[in-house]
Structures are given as structure tokens and as C-alpha cells.
Amino acid sequence: MVWTSSDPGAGNPGLIRHEAQVRDTLASTISDVVLVGLQSVVSAQGTAAWTGIAATAFFETAAGYLPEVTTIVGGLTNDADALHQYANDVESIKNDALALGSAESEVQSDLSRWNHKLNSLESLSYLIVDPAEQEENRDERRRYEGYIEGANWTLREYGRQWELLASRRSTADGLCVAKLSSEASRGGLAAVATAGDSSDKALLDSLSGLSAAELAILFALHPELADRIAAIDNPELVARWWAGFGDPLMPGVITPAQQALIFGMPQVIGNLNGVPLATRVEANKLNIAAAKAELEAELAQLWATQSDSGVDFSAYAKQLSQQIAYYDVLLTETVTFVDGDGNPVSTTGHNIVYFDAEADAIAEYSGLLDPVTGGVPDYVQNLGIYIPGMNSTILSFGNEVVRSEVFTDEYPGTVAMITWKGGEFPDVWGVASGPNAAQLGAKLADFSHSLYGMPDTVDVVGMGYSFGGSVLGNAEAAGLALDRSLQISGAGMGDNVTSLDDYPNSSDAPHYSFMAPEDYVVGPIQGIDAGDLGHGASPLSTPGVIQLETGWNIKDDPTSGLVQGHEDIWKRNSTAHDQMEQVLIGGSVELYAEPEIVITYTGPPVYISPLYDSGYEPVMQDVPGGAE
Amino acid sequence: MSDLLVSIDDIDSLTTTLDTVAAGLSSSSMIVLALTNRSAIFGSAAVVDAVETSAGIQRLRIDIAAAGIEALAVSGDEAGARLRTEDKLLSRGLI
């Protein structure tokens, strides 16, 4: 029951004081036990014979908790003070309301009695004949009329006092709320804007100064804020905001404020366009560790369930174990890439620049990141964005990265790769879904904004394989900007795409495609665009797209046989694989040699490649842009 | 190894203190309004909202600090166990 103008003292001061006392007791306990204990631990560092890096870290960590615990004590004490004051205010108002109510009842009782008496006198006046008694009756009626007027005036005054009590209660509420919402009670969280009442810039600015603990609290209480920040589509704003937390005297070094944001909202920072790639890598280490811990718990639960139920979960358990092992590799494997001076540089952990375990989404940057900017270094000449084909999962993603890193190994330092799988990729039953590829394409276009601030000298080359080709095309239709584009046995140019004119930011970029003979995976679905089925125009026949030759299993070696089917194009020394490299680095590509089609009357047509002709000379064409 | 010698009692007292601190924080994290009718207690919806929000923030803040200090106590225990072993080996001239 809340207070009203007729009951401004509603509430229970005794119980409010009880709540205040709980907070007082808790503050005292934490202060007397925790704070004192931590202080004694920290002060012991000077006398303990324990030395070394581990000891230093131990004592620094302990000291780091002192301000946080002090804040907790201060907050609880402030809350207690606010509630004590509120209890006093409510009690005072309640007592005054009781007294006022009592007085008002008394006057109302008198008023009722006087009205009754007056009515009686008025009735009697009609029966009195004696003039003297009439005079007396009149006088008495006047006297009671005076009483009644006085009572009514008093009641009006009491009404004004009820209004004053209501005003006092409003003020008391306001003071209590203000104190409970103040910085003394809530720390940095007191100033944070909440969802829906601020601009993106204001929201980001309000996060500055919050500790990692406060950020964790904020997002626990307002999970919608994390979604709102994650949805900010303004890499310039985010980059400027992030740089504002940096130290200009130590460029490239993550500051405590930035560390707090990483630890406070790792899922957001790990995937937020505008945050440097190197920082996203650090945040995603936390996300991967959390995903790994979740799988380990699930595996433990699975074993417990199996032993109780007798059901065999070994196949699923094996899958979980493999994924846990993969996450471990992502976090701990030593990876080595070459810098701009040709020197090998080793780092621990993979550069995961996008990660969302629930969405089965991951992207890995293969190469070194600039130690100052945290982005793509200026010695990188070509950045390939490789999108794999159907059936790709986080568990199989490592195999796709291996494909990417063939290119970084071949062109150390000058080529970097991003292998991208921004969500769930379909299996064979869903591979023909155009809308699915369109959704992923939109995500890829958005992801490309993570390259904000990359040197203009870096050429960006899209390389989509199979279903990934459709994702690439859809991304271009959604605005992805590229310097070159390659459809590797691509399923299509994108949902509802009919020409390069459907690509707003890449229609002028050179587009290439190839598909090996007897590719019965994408061959049958290329060019289909019927409702939700199909992936738009065929990459092999779209005007403006240059078709390339897939050639021999070993380049320039006819004895090795022609590349055939959907997978052989990945053979390391094949013509097809060389074509990928040439598009990526801006080299020279071999144009498609139209086969001779021989109609047989006893079976299907036979395609005879002109590559077998003794005088065959490949037609080469330079790829615009890029440099080896 | 000699420069890592440490007073075992000091480590024990540190970890014991931290265990006490962590336990105290964990038990202190139960800031619960025992009574169900908050509106009847405070008589104001705005005050109820402010009280509950502050209680939520304090509770989360205490839980986060408790988890961190408990982890610190565990690392202290692990370091202590490791150093007790080293100390024994050292006292026997084995290292």
C-alpha cells in the first residue's frame, strides 16, 4: 500500500529502520573483517620473506580489492543512512497525520452534533409563540451557526495541513531516492544512462570511469544495454570513444580503463566495430575461455547423466571434447607470422576477431597486427577475406583457416587473411536457401566495418567458396566494399542479384570466378533464383565476371590430369589454387578455355578441354591492383 | 630457489584470513528483504524501486568481490603448498 493525500504517513517506520539496520550491520561486518583482513594481508608484504613475481602479483591483487571493498562499505552505509532518515521522516509524518486525523475527527464530531442541534432549534422555532422565547431561540441558533462556521473554517485549515503533509512526504521520498541513487551508494553506476533515454554517444560516454565490477553489474541489471552497444553501427564514433580511454604516452598499450571495459563486457568489445582488432582478440580470449568452461561443465554433466540413465552419450561427448580441445588451441597455441622486415614474430593464441559461441560464429585474422594501432599493419599489401562453404562449424573452422594460411605462408608479411564464418552455415539440406545466405551476407558487410582505420594501401579481396560465394555476393549487395572479388566454385552472385550493378560499393571492382568440370555440388544450383531457393545469377555467366581456368592438378603439368569436382580446386599446386593466389596478390590469371562439346548419341555430351591440345597456349590477363 | 623462501606461517595466516574474508563476504551477500510486502513497508513505489536497485547493485558488487578474493585465497593456498614442499626439500639439502 502506497501513501495517498489522505494517508501521507503510509509505511512502517519500524520495518524501514530494520532494513537500515541490516545494512549497518553488514557494513560493519565487512569493514571489521574483510577490510581489516585485506589491509593486514597487504601490509604483510613488507615483512614477509616471500618474494618473486608470484608474490608481487598476489599482493597487488589483494591491494586491488581494498578500494572495491571500501566502496561496498560506503555504499551500504549510505543506504542505511538514507533509510534511517526516511524512517524518521515517515514516522514524523505518520504521527502528525494521526494527530491531525484525531483533531479532524473531533471537529467533525462536534460539527455533526452542532448541525443536529441547529436543526432541532430551527424545528422548535416554528412552535415557539412567546416573543422572549423566540428571541432566546434565535440567539441560540446564531450561537450554533457561529460554532458551525468556526468548525468549517477549522476543517478547511486541516485540509491545508493534509496537503502540507503530502508535500512533506513527496519531499521525503525524493530525498531518499536521491540518496539511494547517488554516487555514494552506487558508485560510477549512478551516472549511467539507461536504454532508450540517450544517444549512442551519451551511452558510450557514461561508461567511462566504471570499474570492471561496475560494468559487470550494469549489464547484469540492464542486459538490454549490451545489445544496444553491440548494435551501434558507427565505427568512427566507437573508435574515437575507445581511443579516449587510451594513454597517448603509451600508444597500443591497453590502459586500466580499457581493461575494465574488456573484462566488464567482453562479448560486446570482442565484436564491436571500431574497437581495434587487437583489442577484440583480447576480449575474445575471455569469450572463448567462457565458452570452453561451459562445454566442460556440460561434458561433466553428460557423464553424470550417462552413469545414472545408462544412455550412451559417447558420440556427443566426443564432439564436446573435440570442441574443448579446439578452444584450448585457440587460446594457447603459439602462432608465428612474419613482420614487414621479414622477421618471424611468435604470439600466444590465435587472433580471433569475431566470436559468438551461441551463434556458431567465428572469424580469425591470420597475420600480425600493428602493435600501435592494433589493426592491419601498413606493410600488408593484400587482405583476403575467405568465406568457407556449407557444413562449416566452429569445430571444423580450423581446417578453413589452414586453407587461408597457405596464402600467408606463400606471401609472408605482404598477405594477411581473415577467415570468416559469421553464423550458422547450412548443411546439404539447407544449402540452397537464398535468404540464409543473404542474412549471413549482411553480417559480413557489417563485419567489414571492423576494418575501419585500416591503411588505404591495403587491397581487400573477397574469396567465397561454394555457399560462401553466395555469402560474398550477398555481402557485396549489402554494401561490402572490395578491391577484387573471387567466386571459388561459388553457389551464386547473391539472392536476387542479376548483375554487378546490384553491388553498390564494388560494382567497379574486378570480379572473377571459376568452377572445375564435373562439380556436381554447385553446378546444378548455379543460376537458380526461385523464391527462397537459389543464390542469384551464376558466377560463371554474369556479365562482367571474368571466368578463370581451373586447369591441371599440378600447374603446367598435363600428366597430372585436370582438376575436377568440387574439392580438387584446393589442391595446393594446382592451376586453380594458383589462380586464387594471383587474384589475391594482383598477379596474372589464366582465362577460361571454353571446352569443345561433343554430342554423343549413346550417352551424355562429352566436354573436351582445349588444354589437351598440343599447341594450347593459356591466355593470361593481369589482375588490376595489388603487387607481389 | 633460495630467494623464494617464505615464512610458511605467514602464508597460512594470509590464506586463513582471506578464507575468512571470502566466507564473510559470501555470507554477507544475502542482502534480502525478508518481508514480502515491500510497498507496505516503504509506502512509496519510487522508494521501493530505489531500494531494490541499490540492494541489487550492492549484492552483485559483494558477490564479484567475494569471488575474486576467494580465487586469491586459492592461489595463496596453492603457493603455500608449493612453497612448503620446496622448504622441506631445501631443509633436507635436496635442492
Of A33, A83, A217, the CB nearest to B61: A217
Helix or strand run (H / E) with residue A298: helix A277-309
Calculate how close chain B gets to A252, using CA atoms only, in Å: 28
Q: Which residues of B touch A188 (CB under 8 A)?
A: none
pLDDT in tens, B9-62: 454 555 565 566 555 555 544 444 444 578 888 999 999 989 888 888 888 888
> Picking from A71-85, A219-233, A362-376, which range would have the lowest pLDDT averaged per residue?
A219-233
Of A33, A173, A185, the CB nearest to B47: A173
Q: Identify which of A499, A517, A506 has the alpha carbon closest to the alpha carbon of residue A565.
A: A517
Q: Give residue A221's pLDDT.
A: 81
* ipTM of predicted assembly, 2 dp: 0.74
Calculate how close chain B gets to A100, using CA atoms only, in Å: 19
Whether residue A346 has pLDDT greater than 70: yes
Q: Which residues of B touch A79 (CB under 8 A)?
A: 51, 54-55, 58
Residues facing A597 on adjacent strands: A607
Mean pLDDT of A80-87: 96
Single-letter amino acid code for the residue at A326 = Y
pLDDT confidence of A106, banded at 50, 70, 90?
very high
Beta-carbon separation of A65 and B64 below 8 A: no
Provide the 3-class DSSP secondary structure of residue A125: helix
Single-letter amino acid code for the residue at A623 = V
Of A15, A58, A90, the CB nearest to B35: A15
Beta-carbon separation of A186 and B54 below 8 A: yes
Rounded-to-integer distance, Cα A603 and Cα A325, Å: 50
Per DSSP, A275 falls in state B
Phi, psi of A477 (to 5 degrees): -65, -30
Q: Which of A12-21, A63-72, A269-278 has the highest mean pLDDT?
A: A269-278
Q: Which residues of B touch A220 (CB under 8 A)?
A: 60
Any chain B CB within 8 A of the CB of A49?
yes
pLDDT in tens, A556-570: 999 999 999 999 999
Residue B51 C-alpha cell reads as: 531500494
Burial A589-606 (b: 16+ CB within 10 A, else e): bbebbebeeeeeeeeeee
Whether residue B81 has pLDDT greater than 70: no
Mutate to test the interface with A, among B41, B49, B74, B84 (most CBs of A within 10 A): B41
Q: Which residues of A touch B33 (CB under 8 A)?
A: 19
Calculate how close chain A gets to B41, using CA atoms only, in Å: 5
Task: Name the more confident of A124 and A605.
Answer: A124
Mean pLDDT of A349-353: 98
Q: Give residue B6's pLDDT.
A: 42
Q: Give residue B76's pLDDT.
A: 67
pTM (2 d.p.)? 0.75
Instruction: State the DSSP string of A86-110.
Output: HHHHHHHHHHHHHHHHHHHHHHHHH
Q: Report percent pLDDT > 70 for chain A.
A: 95
Residue A53 C-alpha cell reads as: 613475481
Beta-carbon separation of A49 and B6 below 8 A: yes
Q: Give residue B22's pLDDT.
A: 53
Beta-carbon separation of A3 and B43 below 8 A: yes
Of A16, A181, A214, the CB nearest to B42: A16
Rounded-to-integer distance, Cα B54 and Cα A82, Å: 11
Single-letter amino acid code for the residue at A405 = E
Q: Give residue B37's pLDDT.
A: 74
Calculate how close chain B gets to A18, using CA atoms only, in Å: 10
Of B5, B31, B44, the CB nearest to A26: B31
Residue A162 C-alpha cell reads as: 493534509
Q: Give residue A49's pLDDT.
A: 60
Instruction: Please tell me which residue of chain B has the smallest CA distance to A183.
Output: B54
Whether residue B3 has pLDDT greater than 60: no
Whether residue A111 has pLDDT greater than 50: yes
